[in-house]
A and B are shown apart, each in its own frame.
Chain A
Amino acid sequence: MGVVAFLILVVGVVFVVALAGGGSDNGDQQSSPGQSGTTTPKKAVSGDICKGNTLITFGEDPASVLDPIQVRDQGTAEYVVEIFGGLVTLGLDAKVGPDIAKNWDVSADGTTYTFHLRDDVVFHDSRRVTAQDVKYSLERAADPKNASPTVVEYLGDIVGLKERFNGKATEVSGVRVVNDQTIEIKITHPSEYFIDELTLPVAFVVDKTQIEKDPRNWTRHPNGTGPFKLQEFTPAQRIILARNDRYHLGAAKLDKVDFELGGGSIVTRYENNELHVGGVPAIELEAVKNGTSPLAKDYHPQPEMALNYMAFNAKQAPFDDPKVRQAMAMSIDRNNINNVLLFNAWRVADGILPPDMPGYQESVKSLAYDPQKAKDLLASSQYAGKMPRIVLTYAGTAGDAPETLQAIQSAWKTNLGIQVDLQATDYSAYLRELRKGTFQMFVAGWIADYPDPENFLDKLFASDSPENELNYKDATVDGWLFQARAERDRTKRFALYNQAEQKILDDAVIIPTFWPVNQTVVKPCVKNWPSVALTVPKYRYIEIDANAK
């Protein structure tokens, strides 16, 4: 009995110590830096999230500062498009619509755009936006001192912009303030997708007063014109956006959007009613698809305007022989992979342009699965019987390659007798080597910046495009692509792109694998969740309906 008494005593002491420890820590916490993460309002108790008016979702840490002209990745753009705005914006239907400009005229030759600005647009601090602000923002984007990674790529068609960026001019001559409410932008050649490019962050309007006052840290509390203000940004914890009540296109219905950046088990938290939006883990996908999972009723797949593909370096052996590329493309049964490994949750990319993209043409087809023909092609290639080592590089960490890649690897082995080594490379090294063009064969993906076929076909395959990391150069394809750049008739322009697309697919410069689909679950009380995954301002449309079942 002595021992039991002792145990009770010790446990009691430990509890007192623990409580005291906790208590004193609580006191210290007032001044601790850890406080930044705990100042936010307590989250709704489980089950109550549909009663509040804050959308709780998950997100990732932005890769770059929240400065529109520095944004390079989609993750950062997700926040920037909500905080800032430009002359024009993309709607949920992927169509260009007015934002700061209420309308615009295009000259007969298609090279002069005149934008008429709304008179009720204000920054978050209530200062009015004028044509001068637009001019300042475009000048700032082109200023070589600011070294925007994207300005030449997306706004390079503006007259004088490249000269300014290369330090040969002191001003972008093609941007002219007509009056407070009017701005004129001249481009070097007629371009039907120029207006789309103006919806990108690099063309957004920023506040000169704020930037000049606090050039170093203004991005921590940016003063934009978008539907939401940045209320809190704690790295690896959360980003909170709060409604801009004076938003000119109609204030958002939500009070706040809370992006949880910490990771953890998203789906468990979703099931525990702590998140409105969750992702479906691969292991749960089959049960969600066949309806046996409790998540199935909230399943909300969002097709992305994106393409996953494998690319060949056509300058290296054995891929300098198109027959090898075609044989490898034709020996993969992508439908079967989608069926078995992805439970048909993704879409097999039977082309380059995703079906949601304007200009998508169903008759354009990628090479079909035909193992016999693939074998014949390989046998007639110059590398028949003397295949050099093939390494397929992908961005990833050590461990097993993704299952889909393993399936493809085994298809090549079975159907063609080719051993392809899969090589995972650290992400930043992968990017560097990709840029240098040293890979023999690599896995890549492309997400549309804006909904125009130019953004896929010209950017990835035109010989003069900086994004053409394949170093692909084909005179016929180039001819069509260059012609399309200046073509103003939509039907003719899209026909040119479809021709180019078919030729690229027949050449098998890349093997398109899938058009990815976001596997999301959304609580039934969330209304107007977009049906397509696009990086456009979307949270202002969303409502939380407490009565929804």
Chain B
Amino acid sequence: MGPGLIGYIIRRLLWAVPVLFVISVLVFGMLRMAPGDPVDRILGTHYEESAARQLRQKYGYDQPLYVQYVKYFQNMAHGELGVSTLHTDFTATDVILPKVWISSQIGLFALILTFGLGIPVGIYAALARGTFLDPLVISWWLALDAVPVFVLTTLTSWLFALKLGLVGLSWDGVYSTHIILPVLVLALPGVAGVARFMRASVISVMGEDYIRTARAKGLKESTVVFSHIARNAMLPMITVIGLSLPGIAGGALFVEQGFGIPGIANESLQAALAPDYDVILALVLFGSVLFVLANVVIDVMYAYVDPRVRLGARRG
């Protein structure tokens, strides 16, 4: 990693600061504009006014909006993201981190499975182009993609848990057999997309001159497929993988709801409905940071895979 690359990464990360600032102002303002506040929800209809006053004071809602924001920003600079009103007594970080961690692990397993299946399926379909196997393989995965997630959830729960008794459905931590169904339901519908992308990529690489050259040199077919076609066809795939990364930390609402997973998507929904101001803000900021990071990671990965890409090099 040359100095140019490090400088590039630092510049990109610094750019994230104004982006986050603008996002936080926007979201902060929008939340406060919505009718009803967390205190309404905590206290219900009947309560002493003093209780509401005290709570609004505790959470700072009695201050003018800009004061509230400045305070929030100061706390944010110290790494404090506020307090959850939905899960009273817990800080926003306390609430979010365990859930992000849970969703990320499940998401990562699903991602590995999606690409682990999608890439070889795509290569296979491309190589089988012109035979009946190509459309057969692709359409089978497309069919899975076409089934709504909540149907898959119900079907797999019914089949594997109730009928076959193979797995449990209650949340039992990430490292238990109970996680198999959610990961499958999360991963399988995505395989078709990856496979089709990979198929197109392989087909376009197969038409390149250098592939013909490789064959002409008398290289073994497996060498041609592995070293030449697959490697070059993976290049555009990196963008797809990279852009999928922030998604895995975001969780998947239907899967989390369907299997009762205490993940971040479930939390986001609850926070939005409550409303839980600080948790919503923290979630949005967190998502933005991930997105920025993912883009940097993609650029860096490109530099590694494709020697022609030189990040941070001066142009002209």
Q: Are B127 and A3 in contact (CB under 8 A)?
A: yes
Q: Are A427 and B36 in contact (CB under 8 A)?
A: yes
Q: Are A43 and B41 in contact (CB under 8 A)?
A: no
A269 and B120 in contact (CB under 8 A), knowing A148-B51, A263-B266, A428-B40?
A: no
Q: Are A397 and B273 in contact (CB under 8 A)?
A: yes
Residues on B with beta carbons closer than 8 Å to the beta carbon of A430: 36
Q: Which secondary structure characterizes the binding site on chain B? A: helix
Residues on B with beta carbons closer than 8 Å to the beta carbon of A62: 88
CB-contacts of B261-277 with A (<8 A): 261-262, 266-267, 270, 273-275
Q: Does A408 contact B (CB under 8 A)?
A: no
Q: Does B172 contact A (CB under 8 A)?
A: yes
Residues on B with beta carbons closer than 8 Å to the beta carbon of A14: 112-113, 115-117, 120
A147 and B48 in contact (CB under 8 A), knowing A2-B222, A38-B174?
A: yes
Q: CB-nearest residue of chain A relative to B172?
A: A43
Total interface residues in chain A, CB < 8 Å: 77
Q: Are B54 and A22 in contact (CB under 8 A)?
A: no
Interchain nearest-CB distance for B215 vs A (Å): 13
Q: CB-nearest residue of chain B relative to A58?
A: B260
Q: Are A17 and B88 in contact (CB under 8 A)?
A: no
* Cα–Cα, bound, A37→B51 (Å): 32
Residues on A with beta carbons closer than 8 Å to the beta carbon of B109: 18, 21-22
Q: Are B169 and A264 in contact (CB under 8 A)?
A: yes
Interchain nearest-CB distance for A180 vs B (Å): 32
Q: Are A263 and B260 in contact (CB under 8 A)?
A: yes
CB-contacts of A36-60 with B (<8 A): 36-38, 42-43, 45-47, 56
Binds B, one of A271-279, A475-483, A500-508: A271-279
Q: Are B36 and A65 in contact (CB under 8 A)?
A: no
* Cα–Cα, bound, A398→B225 (Å): 53
Interface size range of chain B in the complex: 35 or more
Q: CB-nearest residue of chain B relative to A294?
A: B162
Q: Does B207 contact A (CB under 8 A)?
A: no
CB-contacts of B72-105 with A (<8 A): 84, 86-90, 94-95, 97-99, 101-102, 105
Residues on A with beta carbons closer than 8 Å to the beta carbon of B123: 3, 6, 10
Q: Does B314 contact A (CB under 8 A)?
A: no
Q: Does B38 contact A (CB under 8 A)?
A: yes
Q: Are A237 and B171 in contact (CB under 8 A)?
A: yes
Residues on A with beta carbons closer than 8 Å to the beta carbon of B213: none
Residues on B with beta carbons closer than 8 Å to the beta carbon of A5: 222
Residues on A with beta carbons closer than 8 Å to the beta carbon of B50: 144, 147, 165
Q: Does B55 contact A (CB under 8 A)?
A: yes
Residues on B with beta carbons closer than 8 Å to the beta carbon of A356: none
Q: Are A149 and B48 in contact (CB under 8 A)?
A: yes
Q: Are A431 and B44 in contact (CB under 8 A)?
A: yes
Q: Are B102 and A34 in contact (CB under 8 A)?
A: yes
Residues on B with beta carbons closer than 8 Å to the beta carbon of A237: 171, 262
Q: Are A264 and B260 in contact (CB under 8 A)?
A: yes
* Cα–Cα, bound, A148→B36 (Å): 21
Residues on B with beta carbons closer than 8 Å to the beta carbon of A106: none
Contacting residue for B89 out of A46, A220, A265, CB 8 A? A220
Q: Does B42 contact A (CB under 8 A)?
A: yes
Interchain nearest-CB distance for B273 vs A (Å): 7
Q: Are A17 and B174 in contact (CB under 8 A)?
A: no
Q: CB-nearest residue of chain B relative to A45?
A: B168
Q: Are A33 and B97 in contact (CB under 8 A)?
A: yes
Residues on A with beta carbons closer than 8 Å to the beta carbon of B112: 14, 17-18, 21
Interchain nearest-CB distance for B61 vs A (Å): 12
Interchain nearest-CB distance for A398 vs B (Å): 11
Q: CB-nearest residue of chain A relative to B37?
A: A428
Q: Are A11 and B40 in contact (CB under 8 A)?
A: no
Q: Does B128 contact A (CB under 8 A)?
A: yes
Q: Does B148 contact A (CB under 8 A)?
A: no
Q: Are A434 and B45 in contact (CB under 8 A)?
A: yes
Q: Are A235 and B87 in contact (CB under 8 A)?
A: yes
* Cα–Cα, bound, A238→B41 (Å): 21
Residues on B with beta carbons closer than 8 Å to the beta carbon of A42: 172, 176
Q: Are A72 and B260 in contact (CB under 8 A)?
A: no
Residues on B with beta carbons closer than 8 Å to the beta carbon of A467: 45-46
Mark A126-147 against chain B: 1 for CB-CB distance below 8 A, else 0: 0000000000000000001001
* Cα–Cα, bound, A15→B120 (Å): 13
Q: Does A7 contact B (CB under 8 A)?
A: yes
A152 and B48 in contact (CB under 8 A), knowing A18-B113, A38-B175, A235-B90?
A: yes
* Cα–Cα, bound, A264→B54 (Å): 35
Q: Are A272 and B169 in contact (CB under 8 A)?
A: yes
CB-contacts of A427-468 with B (<8 A): 427-432, 434-435, 466-467
Residues on B with beta carbons closer than 8 Å to the beta carbon of A268: 154, 157-158, 161-162, 169
Q: Are B40 and A431 in contact (CB under 8 A)?
A: yes
CB-contacts of B250-309 with A (<8 A): 257-262, 266-267, 270, 273-275
* Cα–Cα, bound, A22→B179 (Å): 12
Q: Are A428 and B260 in contact (CB under 8 A)?
A: no
* Cα–Cα, bound, A6→B202 (Å): 14
CB-contacts of B1-49 with A (<8 A): 34-38, 40-48
Q: Does A63 contact B (CB under 8 A)?
A: yes
Q: Are A2 and B172 in contact (CB under 8 A)?
A: no
Q: Are B95 and A34 in contact (CB under 8 A)?
A: no
Q: Are B101 and A73 in contact (CB under 8 A)?
A: no
Contacting residue for B116 out of A18, A33, A429, CB 8 A? A18
Q: Does A219 contact B (CB under 8 A)?
A: yes
Mark B141-185 against chain A: 1 for CB-CB distance below 8 A, else 0: 000000000000110011001100100111111111000000000
Residues on B with beta carbons closer than 8 Å to the beta carbon of A25: 105, 108, 174
* Cα–Cα, bound, A428→B86 (Å): 12
Q: Are B44 and A236 in contact (CB under 8 A)?
A: no
Interchain nearest-CB distance for A401 vs B (Å): 17
A262 and B261 in contact (CB under 8 A), knowing A6-B225, A21-B112?
A: yes
CB-contacts of B216-237 with A (<8 A): 221-222, 225-226
Q: Are A65 and B222 in contact (CB under 8 A)?
A: no
Q: Does B59 contact A (CB under 8 A)?
A: no
Q: Are A43 and B170 in contact (CB under 8 A)?
A: yes
Residues on A with beta carbons closer than 8 Å to the beta carbon of B161: 46, 268, 272
Q: Does A119 contact B (CB under 8 A)?
A: no
Interchain nearest-CB distance for A165 vs B (Å): 8
Residues on B with beta carbons closer than 8 Å to the beta carbon of A269: 169-170, 260
A-B contact pairs, 13 of them (CB 8 A): A7-B124, A34-B101, A34-B102, A34-B174, A37-B262, A46-B168, A73-B44, A149-B47, A152-B48, A220-B89, A236-B267, A264-B259, A467-B45
Query: Given A14-B115, A147-B48, list of 8 further CB < 8 A pairs?
Result: A7-B124, A10-B116, A18-B112, A42-B176, A265-B153, A265-B260, A426-B273, A435-B40
Measuring CB to CB, which residues of chain A are less than 8 angstroms from any residue of chain B? 2-3, 5-7, 10-11, 14-15, 17-18, 21-22, 25-26, 29, 32-38, 42-43, 45-47, 56, 61-65, 72-73, 144, 147-153, 165, 217, 219-220, 234-237, 260-265, 268-269, 271-272, 274-275, 397, 426-432, 434-435, 466-467, 469
Nearest first, the 3 closest Cβ-Cβ pairs linking A and B are: A264-B260, A14-B116, A428-B36
Measuring CB to CB, which residues of chain B are less than 8 angstroms from any residue of chain A? 34-38, 40-48, 50-55, 84, 86-90, 94-95, 97-99, 101-102, 105, 108-109, 112-113, 115-117, 119-120, 123-124, 127-128, 153-154, 157-158, 161-162, 165, 168-176, 221-222, 225-226, 257-262, 266-267, 270, 273-275
